[in-house]
């Protein structure tokens, strides 16, 4: 008799953003004229930049002619894109990463969900709390979670690293040694970041205890301050302990285009097994490459025009981040993030729970945000707003939130 994967039965509720989408859809149906402003899910609103649009049209034309048609892409990505990434995102910053250590994919969400597959099923997983739910849920599905403890709102077998006001949202080395450590800087959801010095300590720690850091740098383009590392490979020794995941979603607005990549250095081993070969094998067996036209669009991001355009796009969203941060602060809210990240992490007023504040904002202000508790128990009492709206909507949202 066939049985379902029992690990799925341990998942709590729906995927966070699916739950929010359903709540908002129900509210919109009941109140079609509410004029809802969405600052919840991290979805971008600005169109693709001209260099990207032009590359897409040109690649589509290539597909219309047998002489320039492209069938299956190379499993691991086209050389033209891998080399642009390795050169501009890494070697130009002094990080020793070769072209063939870059694996092109359909996005950071897939990669951060799939990467756990190449590790032992009994690997001990450490996550920040609060945290992007994909790291947790993908490991629940893989059977690494143990049981859900309702009273503590946590799984028995994960190591949670609290990120709170008290520790400035910086995870501390856990008491028990983990095998896999998920870190994300600039952080989703808190918008906080890490210094190079502190990240070096994490690299040294991982090398010392023989753990692997899965470093999610999807928001790297939003770094505006010095001494904030753009890549974990800026740290000495990261090639033997770290995998880095990047996205085109937030720097180039590719949420609906789907492109990302993962860096697996050839020096990285798990108990003697090179992880580069395992990830290559997973790609080759379970994936058929990102579409040619999408990879061409990705390459356009690395042209001088493309770089100029995405800086403008990031600047546009960071202006929203500034508006949210300053508007809420001036109105007496306690706010974090928003300086090196497109996320603002705010304390709910009057000790409201995260979901109560969600309902309040939706019902009386017609604004959608994300409840902090959806990211983990230490997110309770916090709330995430994103800077990915339009200027107009963002301004209007802050006006609505801050007015009596």
Q: Which of residues 321-360 bind its own copies (CB under 8 A)?
A: none
Tell me how far apart the alpha carbons of residues 182 and 128 are, in angstroms, rounded to a whole number: 7
Is 221 annotated in some ligand binding site?
no
Tell me the window of 45-53, 87-95, 226-234, 354-362 that interacts with its own copies (CB under 8 A). Answer: 45-53
Tell me the window of 229-237, 281-289, 329-337, 349-357 that interacts with its own copies (CB under 8 A). Answer: 281-289
60 touches its own copies by CB under 8 A: yes
48 touches its own copies by CB under 8 A: yes
Q: Find the shortest distance in angstroms from Cβ 284 to its own copies.
A: 4
Tell me how far apart the alpha carbons of residues 390 and 37 are, in angstroms, rounded to a whole number: 10
x/- track of binding to its own copies for residues 142-171 (CB under 8 A): -x----------------------------
Tokens at residue 144, please?
């690494």
Q: Cβ–Cβ contacts within 10 Å for residue 377, how many? A: 14
Tell me how far apart the alpha carbons of residues 399 and 325 are, in angstroms, rounded to a whole number: 12
Tell me how far apart the alpha carbons of residues 127 and 200 are, in angstroms, rounded to a whole number: 18
For its own copies, give the closer residue by CB, 178 or 372.
178
Tell me the window of 53-61, 232-240, 348-356, 369-377 that interacts with its own copies (CB under 8 A). Answer: 53-61
Binding residue for its own copies, selected from 39, 77, 138, 218, defined by CB under 8 A = 138
Q: Can you say whether residue 224 is alpha, beta or left, with left for phi > 0 and alpha for psi between -120 and 50 degrees?
A: alpha
DSSP 255: T
Q: Can you say whether residue 295 is alpha, beta or left, with left for phi > 0 and alpha for psi between -120 and 50 degrees?
A: alpha
14 touches its own copies by CB under 8 A: yes
Is 132 annotated in some ligand binding site?
yes
Is 269 annotated in some ligand binding site?
no
Binding residue for its own copies, selected from 37, 73, 104, 344, defined by CB under 8 A = 73
Q: Find the shortest distance in angstroms from Cβ 8 to its own copies.
A: 5
For its own copies, give the closer residue by CB, 206 or 328.
206
CA 25 to chain centre: 24
65 touches its own copies by CB under 8 A: yes
Q: 42 and 320 in contact (C-beta within 8 Å)?
A: no
Helix (H, G, I), strand (E, B) or coil at 159: strand
**According to CB under 8 A, which residues from 105 to 124 bind its own copies?**
106-107, 109-110, 113-114, 117-123
CA-CA-CA-CA torsion sign (48, 54, 58, 61): positive
Tell me the window of 83-91, 278-286, 322-330, 332-340 that interacts with its own copies (CB under 8 A). Answer: 278-286
134 touches its own copies by CB under 8 A: yes
**According to CB under 8 A, which residues from 223 to 262 bind its own copies?**
253, 255-258
Is 249 annotated in some ligand binding site?
yes
Tell me how far apart the alpha carbons of residues 372 and 323 are, in angstroms, rounded to a whole number: 20
Q: How many chain residues bind its own copies (CB under 8 A)?
A: 85
Tell me the window of 193-201, 285-293, 341-349, 356-364 that interacts with its own copies (CB under 8 A). Answer: 285-293
Sequence-ordered list of residues with C-beta below 8 angstroms from that of 332, at least 6 positions apart, any chain: none
For its own copies, give the closer residue by CB, 222 or 336.
222
Q: Can you say whether residue 39 is alpha, beta or left, with left for phi > 0 and alpha for psi between -120 and 50 degrees?
A: alpha
Residue with tokens 């802050």: 398
288 touches its own copies by CB under 8 A: yes
Q: 344 and 325 in contact (C-beta within 8 Å)?
A: yes
Q: 360 and 351 in contact (C-beta within 8 Å)?
A: no
Tell me the binding residues for pyridoxal 5'-phosphate.
Answer: 72, 108-109, 132, 188, 219, 247-249, 258, 288
Tell me the binding residues.
Answer: 15, 42, 72, 108-109, 132, 188, 219, 247-249, 258, 288, 384
């Amino acid at each position: 008799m066939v049985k379902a994967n029992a690990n799925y039965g341990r998942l709590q509720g729906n995927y966070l953003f699916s739950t929010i989408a359903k709540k908002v859809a129900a509210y919109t149906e009941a109140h079609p004229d509410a004029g809802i402003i969405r600052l919840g899910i991290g979805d971008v609103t600005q169109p693709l930049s001209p260099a990207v649009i032009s590359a897409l049209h040109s690649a589509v034309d290539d597909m219309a002619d047998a002489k320039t048609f492209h069938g299956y892409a190379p499993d691991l990505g086209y050389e033209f894109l891998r080399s642009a990434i390795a050169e501009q995102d890494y070697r130009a910053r002094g990080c020793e990463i070769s072209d063939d250590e870059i694996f092109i994919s359909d996005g950071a969400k897939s990669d951060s969900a799939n990467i756990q597959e190449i590790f032992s099923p009994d690997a001990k997983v450490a996550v920040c709390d609060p945290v992007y739910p994909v790291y947790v849920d993908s490991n629940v599905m893989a059977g690494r979670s143990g049981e859900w403890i309702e009273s503590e709102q946590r799984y028995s077998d994960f190591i949670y690293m609290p990120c709170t006001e008290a520790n400035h949202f910086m995870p501390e080395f856990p008491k028990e040694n983990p095998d896999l450590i998920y870190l994300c800087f600039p952080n989703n959801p808190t918008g906080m970041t890490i210094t190079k010095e502190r990240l070096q300590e994490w690299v040294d720690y991982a090398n010392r205890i023989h753990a692997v850091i899965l470093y999610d740098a999807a928001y790297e383009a939003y770094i505006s301050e010095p001494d904030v590392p753009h890549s974990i490979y800026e740290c000495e020794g990261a090639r033997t302990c770290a995998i880095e995941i990047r996205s085109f979603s937030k720097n180039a607005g590719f949420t609906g285009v789907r492109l990302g990549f993962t860096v697996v250095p050839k020096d990285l081993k798990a108990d003697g097994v090179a992880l580069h070969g395992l990830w290559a094998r997973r790609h080759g067996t379970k994936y058929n490459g990102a579409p040619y036209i999408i990879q061409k669009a990705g390459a356009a991001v690395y042209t001088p025009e493309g770089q100029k355009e995405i800086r403008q796009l990031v600047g546009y969203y960071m202006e929203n981040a500034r508006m949210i941060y300053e508007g809420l602060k001036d109105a007496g809210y306690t706010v974090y993030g928003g300086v090196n990240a497109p996320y603002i992490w705010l304390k709910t007023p009057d000790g409201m729970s995260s979901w109560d504040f969600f309902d309040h904002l939706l019902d009386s202000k017609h604004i959608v945000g994300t409840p902090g508790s959806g990211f983990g128990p230490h997110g309770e009492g916090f709330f995430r707003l994103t800077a990915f709206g339009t200027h107009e909507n963002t301004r209007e949202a802050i006006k609505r939130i801050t007015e009596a």
